[in-house]
Amino acid sequence: MGVKVLKFGGSSVADGIQLKKLKEIVEADPDRRYVVVSAPGKRFSGDNKVTDLLYLCKTEIDNHIPYDQVFQVIIDRYSAVKLNLGIDVDLKSRYEEIRRNIEAGCSVDYLASRGEFLSAVLVAAYLGYDFVDTAGLIQFDSRGRLLPEETNEALKAELAKHERAVLPGFYGTQKDTDKVRVFSRGGSDVTGSLVARAVEADVYENWTDVSGLLMADPRIVENPKPIDQITYVELRELSYMGASVLHEDAVFPVRGANIPINIRNTNKPEDPGTMITTSRPENTERILSGVAGNKDFTVIAIYKNMLNKEVGFIRRILTILEDLDVSFEHIPTGIDTVSVVISNDQLPEGKLDDVLDALQHQINPDSITVHDDIALIAAVGIGMSRRLGTSARLFTALAEAGVNVRMIDQGSSEINIIIGVLNEDFEKAIRAIYNAFNSDRDDVLKDTMSKLH
């Protein structure tokens, strides 16, 4: 018998209807032995996520406002599911315990984590699986950073005692204490990945409300093609630009253990979804795996004659950014020029002036030019590497669409091309790149090549 770890997101545990789907999915395969669950998400437009309600409770407590009404809404969510599905589990004592901890001045992390905790208790009883709390197993240091090796050892030892179990996602505890610490939002993905590593799973199934990844944002490109398989490296590149249904930190535990991730749809379990693997054949017919991007970046273009002869020039620029607590995205360079690309989120009012003043006084450039209306787009695909004509096709498509490229950057792996365009050209550029690699002409060419072979 193999081992599969499943993680179900908030939409997959939102109510009794969704939990019935969850149970059918789990029971359809005896290898599905370990289940990680999120807190219940929205049931319909305008509804509230349980985690948001818990944060609201904490806000009201901090502002000396009675929180009972909001907390009762949370209780009603779980109690309704228990009643509708006829689940035999004691939730009342759990509610009372949470209330006692609230009255004792619990931390915001503790309160926020109770959504996953209650969800796991409920789902474990519904499936007839053991409930295993991640408190004491998922371990953080005093600064809230995950301790991966300690976590792996603790999970491995505990889960060896349970043939089948349900665990809450999103949280753990500070090492050698009972202080609850949480991941960033979406952290249940990370919990699932850690569990998959600990039990040496054959696959980590991440169940959500979409049938895997798409080659482009459907809000920009009409009916983009699904991605059937993608590598961890490609996923990282696309996730960096915001095109992911998976928490980016969830990749690392399973990638190191060579465990594939399968993104699946709880509402369409028959769909194969997207398989994320360590590698795929480089001779694949698909050149482009996906295209994604974000708006609102600032490019600081620095010109200095004989820059390439000046030792430590780039280091001084990075030191200035570090001293001002500003992170950068890219640094394209030329012989006499260097550009620093920074997200506008890193440049609140006055911060850009501070950066420019420091650059002017500490590196003495010949000129500095600022472009603050830039969008970045990444075209990603292992099939792009060493494939003749890829760049020509991409830039021809942009030219034909009337998009002026303001910046070009490419990673050393040659699996991505990053371009900068004006914010106003963002959607147009995404569509142009997508269509350039997904035209009917390409489909005909693939059919022809297939027949020849």
pLDDT in 10s for each residue of the chain, 453 residues: 799 999 999 999 999 999 999 999 999 999 999 999 999 999 999 999 999 999 999 999 999 999 999 999 999 999 999 999 999 999 999 999 999 999 899 999 999 999 999 999 999 999 999 999 999 999 999 999 999 999 999 999 999 999 999 999 999 999 999 999 999 888 899 999 999 999 999 999 999 999 999 999 999 999 999 999 999 888 888 887 777 778 878 888 999 899 999 999 999 999 999 999 988 765 566 788 999 999 999 999 999 998 888 888 999 999 999 999 999 998 988 889 999 999 999 999 899 999 999 999 999 899 999 998 999 999 999 877 767 888 899 999 999 999 999 988 876 667 889 999 999 999 999 999 999 999 754 544 444 444 444
Rounded distance, CA 22 to CA 17, Å? Answer: 9
Q: Which of 307, 322, 297 is nearest to 422 (CA)?
A: 297
Q: How many CA atoms lie within 13 A of 387 on its CB side?
A: 24
User: Phi, psi at residue 101, to the nearest 5°?
Assistant: -70, -35
Query: For residue 339, what are the β-bridge partners?
Result: 301
How far, in Å, are 200, 324, 376 from residue 234 at the CA level?
23, 31, 17
Q: Which of 115, 291, 308 is nearest to 215 (CA)?
A: 291
CATH homologous superfamily for 4-277?
Answer: Acetylglutamate kinase-like (3.40.1160.10)
What SS3 class is residue 418? strand
Q: What are the boundaries of each domain within the chain? A: 4-277, 290-452
DSSP structure class, residue 227: -
For 328-353, give the secondary structure using H, E and C.
CCECCECCCEEEEEEEHHHCCCCHHH
Q: Look at domain 290-452 and name its CATH class.
A: alpha beta
User: Phi, psi at residue 125, to the nearest 5°?
Assistant: -65, -40
**Structure token pair of residue 321:** 């950014």
| Encoded amino acid at 107, one letter | S
Query: For residue 379, what are the β-bridge partners?
Result: 291, 417
